[in-house]
Amino acid sequence: TATIVEIAEAFTQLEIKPKRSLLFIAFTGEEMGLLGSKFFTNNPIIDLENVKLMMNMDMVGSLNEETKALTVGGTGTAIGLSDLVSQTADTNKLKINQAAEGYGPSDHASFYMKDIPVLFFFTGVTQEYHTPTDDVDSLNFVGQKNVSNYTYDLAMAVNNRTEALVYQEAGPKVKTAGGRRSLKV
């Protein structure tokens, strides 16, 4: 949530407004079956035809200091998106691990199922994940800021494109057995 607010605030500071509209949403009920994002995509407040990319940040506060690995999923869901993800990264601060598939156990899946390109940002599960010790002390604030800056830069790069991203299917649109797709908390 803090990362979303940080990025939204950065966009409000621009002297020149972005070419495209940006909508910042924090969903609830993800672990109960994507309740918030499913509700939004089934009852949108805007025409979903106008949504050109959904960027989902889920667990981006636990960047490993040594590996600096940030997984970016959904890189195959739009033509050229993988290249844009790579070109925008500062490899001194983040090591980007791309996953092409658009479906996954987080809110971006609701958008992918509606043929909208998605990106899913994730710094990995920690030992504290969903335990009583999963508290503010377990966060990596410098790493979170690096993820925030990268996500902002990528959103700006997408926004400044002459042409909108073109959706392409990248993997199944349903939960399958095995792997992260079947993760249930």
To the nearest 10°, the Cα dihedral for 43, 46, 52, 53?
A: -60
Q: Comparing 32 with 117, which gets the higher pLDDT?
A: 117
- Determine the pLDDT at residue 123: 92
The beta-strand segments (E) located in 41-174 are: 54-57, 69-73, 95-99, 118-122
Mean pLDDT of 38-49: 95
Distance of CA 27 to the CA centre of its chain: 13
Could you give the CA distance from residue 85 to residue 117 in angstroms, rounded to a whole number? 13
Band of residue 176 on the pLDDT scale cut at 50, 70, 90: low
pLDDT digits (tens, 9 = 90+) for 156-173: 999 999 999 999 999 998
One-letter amino acid of 29: G
